[in-house]
Amino acid sequence: MTHIPNSIQARDIASLVHPQTNLALHRDIGPVVMERGEGIAVYDDAGNRFIDAAAGLWCASLGYASERLAKVAYEQMRRMGYYHLYRHNTHRNGVELAERLLKIAPVPMSKVLFQCSGSEANDTAIKLVWYYHAAIGKPQKRKIIGRKMGYHGSTSASISASGKPDMHADFGLPFPEFRHTEFPHWYRNRQPGETEEQFATRMADALEALILAEGPDSCAAFIAEPVMGAGGGIVPPRTYWEKMQAVIRKYDMLFIADEVICGFGRTGAMWGCETFGLKPDMISCAKALSAGMQPISALMVNDRVYQAMLDESRKLGNFAHGFTYAGHPVTTAVALETLNIYEDMDMLGHVRRVGPSLQAAIGALGAHPLVGDVRGVGMLAALEMVSDKTTGAAFDPALKIGARVEQAARRHGLIARFIGDRIAFSPPLIVTEADIDDIAARTKLALDEVWSEIGKPG
Ligand code: PLP
């Protein structure tokens, strides 16, 4: 496709590299130019409206515009637009946000470290695992175990912990100290007749077998999302977390809960850890922390980890880690106000009231002939398209069914997150029941269209 010279599309192709994008294809098809947002919808430069059932990248919890957050950012920039936390400096917003996070943490946490992204929060957690084990005299405990299909970010260590071979390819990653255990996709990976509980036992046994094969003395930590997001919206089967945590504890490994997607209400509780009974040593969070309107993330560490950090920095003379924009006064101000907004509008109550409608509406799509599995929790739902509803057989990836449904959905003014042949729905948390019906109706139109295209009209 040729774009009009000097159009935003042409200038984009000439100047920008897009994240997670096929760069060659991008040169041919160019970008979609988004111009503005209103409520849960965004508008492109041709004035087309799209309901965003993905909340951007799982983050635009309050939708796309907020006078209240804009005002807070503006006022903070006028008062003090930057200062850092290095070398004993502090500011009120950083302290207040740290206190607030510790107060709402799902398990007792001791301290907070700030960064600008989920990737950096997890990268920091991984460094702290190594630092901790060095401090307690077990420097050989270095291996980090993640899960296949897990996603923890794009920085070198965070993507190493992620179980995404497509994101490792030709970067020479993962780093040698990273391993990946099975992921808990009961629908796709269960054995004939296997119950959720039996499957969960098999998952925990697989983790234990991996630890034993690697040598428990070398295994330092396990990192996981309470619900897998970028892996396809995979809700863990019954008893999974209880059994996995027993293994982690048995081998004295640290547990990092990646709450980047689940944190701040997505699962119907403040934290995915609460919904699923996780008791981690460190918690990373980002995204809805600032409603996606400022780049900020936080890592909480428990006292066991903090005391080791204290010992190490006493010994070395410095805690030699940090970022220029860690705890930035504007990002922390916006995050604090975001948490105030959640409280004022009783966001958790809203998710608990409206979440069941999302589950019911997406659940009803389970009857569609293209859909094999539907699952979800709180304000997160996912469905999986299959070529045979009875056996659950997957489509030939060459058919690109997911991509075709995605295009059809866009034609019907709907954005969702497509991961292969899975669709994840994580609308802004402020979504209403009417919005949810609209999202489900547009999804059905897209599914119907592709169903008839592939010669199986329903
Ligand atoms: N962790 C999880 C669970 C995520 O879904 C993501 C991004 O989607 C990240 C970490 C990385 O966050 P960021 O893109 O802000 O670096």
Cα 244 to Cα 248: distance, rounded to the nearest angstrom: 6
Please tell me the predicted confidence (pLDDT) of residue 2. Answer: 76
For the chain, the farthest-separated pair of C-alpha atoms sits apart, in whole angstroms, at 70
Give 456's pLDDT tier (boundaries 50, 70, 90). Answer: low
* Tokens 């946000």 sit on residue: 97
Q: Tell me the β-bridge partners of 373.
A: 384
- Rounded average pLDDT over 249-276: 98
- Rounded average pLDDT over 355-370: 97
User: By C-alpha distance, which of 96, 94, 99, 97 is closest to 84?
Assistant: 94
Q: What is the mean pLDDT of the chain?
A: 97
- 303 sits in which H/E element: helix 303-316
Contact (Cβ atoms closer than 8 angstroms) between residue 422 and residue 232 = yes
The architecture CATH gives domain 69-344: 3-Layer(aba) Sandwich (3.40)
- In the chain, CATH 3.40.640.10 covers 69-344
- Rounded average pLDDT over 305-309: 98
Name residues whose C-beta falls within 8 Å of residue 298's C-beta, 6 or more positions apart in sequence. Answer: 97, 98, 101, 112, 113, 114, 115, 121, 284, 285, 286, 289
How far from the centroid of its chain's Cα atoms is residue 121's Cα?
12
Helix (H, G, I), strand (E, B) or coil at 355: helix
Judged against a pLDDT cut of 60, whether residue 227 lies above it is answered with yes
Question: What phi and psi values does residue 146 have, to the nearest 5 degrees?
Answer: -110, -165
Cα 380 to Cα 423: distance, rounded to the nearest angstrom: 11
* Tokens 């009961």 sit on residue: 186
Among protein residues, the one whose CA lies closest to atom 1 of ligand 1: 152
Judged against a pLDDT cut of 50, whether residue 458 lies above it is answered with no
Mutation test residue for ligand 1: of 59, 114, 122, 151, the one with most atoms within 8 Å of CB: 151
- C-beta pairs of 448-451 under 8 Å, 24+ apart in sequence: 448/368, 449/408, 449/411, 450/370, 450/401, 450/404, 450/405, 450/408, 451/368, 451/369, 451/370
- Rounded average pLDDT over 370-375: 96
Judged against a pLDDT cut of 80, whether residue 48 lies above it is answered with yes
Model pLDDT for residues 430-443, shown as the tens digit of each residue:
999 999 999 999 99
- In the chain, CATH 3.90.1150.10 covers 32-65+346-454
Please tell me the predicted confidence (pLDDT) of residue 3. Answer: 83
Contact (Cβ atoms closer than 8 angstroms) between residue 292 and residue 61 = yes
Least confident stretch, 1-15, 105-119, 183-197: 1-15
- Rounded average pLDDT over 217-223: 98
Model pLDDT for residues 313-339, shown as the tens digit of each residue:
999 999 999 999 999 999 999 999 999
Helix (H, G, I), strand (E, B) or coil at 180: strand
Domain 32-65+346-454 has CATH 3.90.1150.10: yes
- Rounded average pLDDT over 193-198: 97
Q: Cα of 258 to ligand 1 centre, how many Å?
A: 9
Q: Spell out which residues line ligand 1, taking CB within 6 angstroms.
A: 57, 117-119, 122, 151-153, 225, 229-230, 258, 260-261, 286
Q: Cα of 121 to ligand 1 centre, how many Å?
A: 9
CA torsion sign, 308 to 181 to 234 to 244? negative
Please give the share of the chain, as a percent, with pLDDT higher than 90. 98
User: By C-alpha distance, which of 248, 241, 242 is closest to 220?
Assistant: 248
